[in-house]
Structure 1
Amino acid sequence: MEVGDVDADAQVRLGLVAGAGASRLGRRTINADAFATFTDARLGRSAFVAADGVGDHLAAARAARLVARVAARVAVSEGAHTGILAAQRELLRGLPESSADSVLVVAVLPSSGQWDGPCDIAWVGDCRAYRWNGRVLHRMTTDHTVAEYFRARGRDPLPGMRHLVTTSVRTARPDDIGRTATGSSAGRLLLCTDGVGKKLGMPIIKSILAHGASAGHVAEMLVGAALGRGGTDNTTALVVDATR
């Protein structure tokens, strides 16, 4: 099953994995966020992607939809990092204009015979991945932004620097792509665009992910909370539940 740039809940289920997403337009002219899922029943694996087009225009929206779709389809069999590289090749081929660009985060859950194995995660830009294990919320990614660049060097960034990304699908070299993995895939995983991650602090995200509702309802709660707290950016959340 594959889903991209939709405004309503979209769901994927495979064995003990259930995922659903929600995306809402902020105070923008267009929703340039997208999310996608792809399940390979033969491998028993699912890939999940949240993408955020760079800019508030149609080229950004098209880029986000394209890279989310391609990254999910390739990552499910070849891994999250390879999925991003495939998305880059397709973006450069299909949308050559420089204004068509996106950031994204990709997560691949292990095959159905390895439910407790690690979840493979890769990203560029400031889309984020969080994991809730039932007790502790872990943020799995670090923003690729000018603000984080200065923080890593012990310097205080200016407020606007948190929105300036240093990597994107169009510009990233293979070594620029962030990579990590969870110790276990069991629990609740959140992939989100910065409209959610930068508007909601860890305590709020934790309280919502700890809610016993379905993945789809939790995704709606997250985007609603971000907009309800004055968020103006587009908001997208993709929630994945993996049980033992």
Structure 2
Amino acid sequence: MITTRPGYPRWHTASAQGPRSLNADAVGAYAAAGGPGVVFALADGVGDDPAAARAARAAAAAAARTPVHKGPVEAVLAAQRAVREQAGGDAVLVVAMPAAHGGYRIAWVGDARAYSWDGTTLSRLTTDHTLAEYFRARHQPVTPRMEHVVTTSVRTTEADEIGTAETTSTGLLLTSDGIHKPLAGGGIRAVLAQPGAGAAELVEAALARGGSDNATAIYVEPLEADVTTVRFPVAA
């Protein structure tokens, strides 16, 4: 899906079930009347079952509808309250809120990621909350299995465990691990560098690379992209 609205950035979202039995990823995007822009949220349900899918949908919706002045950490906590109202299910989550300087304020739990993209440079804004990253930061051996074990989640996190970051970039990418694990940074960069590429092309590339999970992306085009792709009619 590609969304355009006067006064707001052009953004794309795409998701695919992949080889899983259902799609437990979810996205949310909400622009409050009179607000400074769009709040974006991407949630990845923990597991491959209906409870995980419900948790992801509840988390993404609650996070995206959090007022911008409350900040992205409060958006994660709002998602937590929504998930805890359900009998079961959990998710990881990344939220991006418009910042006063024109970029975004980010908050996350688990291994959902945010990147900035200016049309040339891809910069990762988040650090995975996984067992692998925990031991890697302590210069300890890491096994492949540790990459898939998260140390924070929407249901379980404490407020001081929520990751935060900021970017001045207007170009933004949020991904579930079904995108960034098969593609890594180089693969993502190669896709976005192609003219007209966005969320759908990232999903297709991740599955073509052998992705074994749900694959979901939200891509907000950098404002500079509008300048180079829209022609202004000039009288002869």
Q: Does 1:36 align with 2:28?
A: yes
Distance 1:75-1:240 versus aligned 2 partners, 3 A rule: farther
The structural deviation recorded for 1:219 is: 0.4
> Cα 1:120–1:75, aligned 2, differ >3 Å: closer, same or farther?
farther
CA distance in structure 2 between the partners assigned to 1:18 and 1:163 by the alignment: 32
- Residues 1:150 and 1:237: Cα distance change in structure 2 (over 3 Å): same
The TM-score with structure 1 as length reference comes to 0.87
Q: Number of residues paired by the alignment?
A: 224
Deviations 1:194-219 (CA, angstroms, capped at 9, x unpaired):
00011112111112222331xxx510
1:233 and 2:213 are equivalent in the alignment: yes
Relative distance call for 1:107 and 1:82 in structure 2 (3 A) is same
The one-letter code of the counterpart of 2:71 is G
> Does 2:192 correspond to 1:212?
no
Give, in whole Å, the separation in 2 of the partners of 1:209 and 1:123. 23
TM-score of the superposed pair, with normalisation by structure 2: 0.90
Q: 1:14 to 1:139 in 2, by over 3 A?
A: farther
- Indicate which of 174, 181, 202 corresponds to 1:191: 174
SS class of match (2:60): helix
* 1:113-133 Cα shifts (integer Å, max 9, x gaps): x5x533100000000011112
Q: Which amino acid is 1:15 matched to? A: G
Identity %: 48
Q: Quote the Cα distance in structure 1 between the aligned partners of 2:179 and 2:12.
A: 15
Which moves more between the two structures, 165-174 or 81-90?
81-90
Distance 1:202 1:241 in 2: 17
**Among 105, 109, 112, which residue is 2:98 paired with?**
109
Per-residue deviation, 1:16: 4.3
CA contact (8 A) 1:12 1:37 kept: no
Q: Which residue of 1 aligns with 2:87?
A: 96
In 1, the alpha carbon distance for the partners of 2:119 and 2:112 equals: 23
Conserved? CA contact 2:117–2:222, under 8 Å: no
| 1:149 aligned residue (131, 134, 144) | 134
SS in 2 for 1:83: helix
Please state how far the C-alpha of 1:20 moved relative to its aligned partner: 1.5
Aligned to 1:201: 184
User: Which among 10, 14, 32 is matched to residue 22 of structure 1?
Assistant: 14
SS at match of 1:28: coil
Give the AA of the match of 1:194: D
Q: Distance in 1 between matches of 2:153 and 2:87?
A: 14
Counterpart residue identity of residue 36, structure 2: G
**Is 2:62 aligned against 1:62?**
no
**Residue in structure 2 matched with residue 6 of structure 1 by the alignment:** none
Residues 44 and 242 of structure 1: is their aligned pair in 2 closer, same or farther, counting only changes over 3 Å? farther
State the shift of 1:42 in Å: 0.5
Letter of the 1:175 partner, please give it: D
- Matches of 1:24 and 1:147, distance apart in 2: 26
Q: CA RMSD in A?
A: 1.5
Residue in 2 that maps onto 1:122: 107
Separation in 1 of the partners of 2:203 and 2:190? 14
Per the TM alignment, residue 174 of structure 1 is displaced from its structure 2 partner at its CA by 0.1
Q: State the Cα deviation string for residues 83-121 of structure 1 (Å, max 9, x = none).
A: 00011112112x033xx10001000123xxx5x533100
Structure 1: gaps spanning 5 or more residues: 1-8
